[in-house]
Amino acid sequence: MTTTATRRIPVGRIIAWIVVGFFLLATLFPFYWMLRTSFSTNGALPSHSNSLLPADTTVDAYRRVLGLSSVSESLAKGGSTASVNFWLYLRNSFVVAISTTVVQTIFSALAAYAFARMRWPGRNVVFTIFLFALMVPPIFTTLPNFVLIRDLGLLNTFLGIVLPNLLMSPFAVFFLRQFFLNISNEVEEAARLDGAGHLRIFFRIIVPMSAAPITTLAILTYVASWNDYFWPLLVGQDENVRVLTVALGIFKAQTPNGGPDWAGLMAATVIAALPVIVLFSLLGKRVINSIQFSGVK
């Protein structure tokens, strides 16, 4: 005689999965709706507002955004008469995001090393004061930073856009310091006995042992810089330094035929989001693991 044991799933787990499914749906549905709209035509969108599928499926919106359609073709498809220099704005976003990521990661790592591994008077007090900056809302520093950038004559320049976040951020220093504290002192002391100085220890020992968290910080910095909108809007009005997020706002403001070019706007948004999506698809697991480790510390 055989007995079949029925494994009962706890009710709490079922509720947890339902809640997770709900939040997953709420998170992904706007992105799906963005994709659906980007493959639709502006003329068919009002009559298919309740449909989950693209209305009159087409890739014309992507052709308009990438500058592959003429003005007459854009107007015929409900697009804008104004040209959108998408590749220029994309290049500007890459310049701002990459320069901010590289410089801020290097300087934040150096500062975190000083706070975690070096002994100097008042270190903990200075670090505590430094952490208070985490509690200051960024909007409070926007006006002073704008006045400073204006007085320096850096409006409408790449340096003016990246300068406030170029060197380091309190979060970045705090994030890396948590990892550096976990590195064994014996390794550092052995290097010091061999005559290594702080810079040599940092670049030859600390950085290789902290590749994962440094990479994670670089990704987070890149995404934050890529998505930044308000500060580039304030100081980067010139087209030669205008980033993609600001350009999308201007693109939306263009109202051909009395309404925005929603299909074109969604197509531009999808293309603008692709670098970040690819980055997280490749390195998302490493980012989550590093953040979890930082939280445990």
Residue 6 has pLDDT above 70, yes or no: no
Give residue-wise pLDDT tens across range 225-243: 988 888 999 898 888 898 8
pLDDT band at 164 (very low <50, low <70, confident <90, very high): confident
Can you list the alpha helix ranges (DSSP code H) found in the chain?
Answer: 11-38, 60-65, 71-76, 86-117, 123-132, 138-151, 158-162, 170-180, 185-193, 198-201, 207-209, 211-227, 230-235, 244-253, 262-296
Mean pLDDT of 106-114: 91
Give residue-wise pLDDT tens across range 168-196: 788 888 888 888 888 888 888 888 888 88
Mean pLDDT of 134-158: 87
Q: What CATH number has the domain spanning 86-294?
A: 1.10.3720.10
Domain ranges of the chain: 86-294
The rounded distance, in Å, linking the Cα atoms of 110 and 95 is 23
- CA distances (Å), origin 200, targets 54, 177, 180: 57, 18, 15
Mean pLDDT of 206-218: 86
DSSP one-letter code for 121: T
Residue 255 has pLDDT above 90, yes or no: no
Residues 6+ apart with CB under 8 A from 247: 84, 85, 86, 89, 268
Give percent of the chain with pLDDT exceeding 90: 15
Greatest mean pLDDT range, 127-131, 155-159, 277-281? 155-159
* Residue 206: per-residue pLDDT: 86
* Residue 98: per-residue pLDDT: 93
Give the position of tokens 């052709």. Answer: 63
The rounded distance, in Å, linking the Cα atoms of 286 and 54 is 35
* Residue 290: per-residue pLDDT: 64
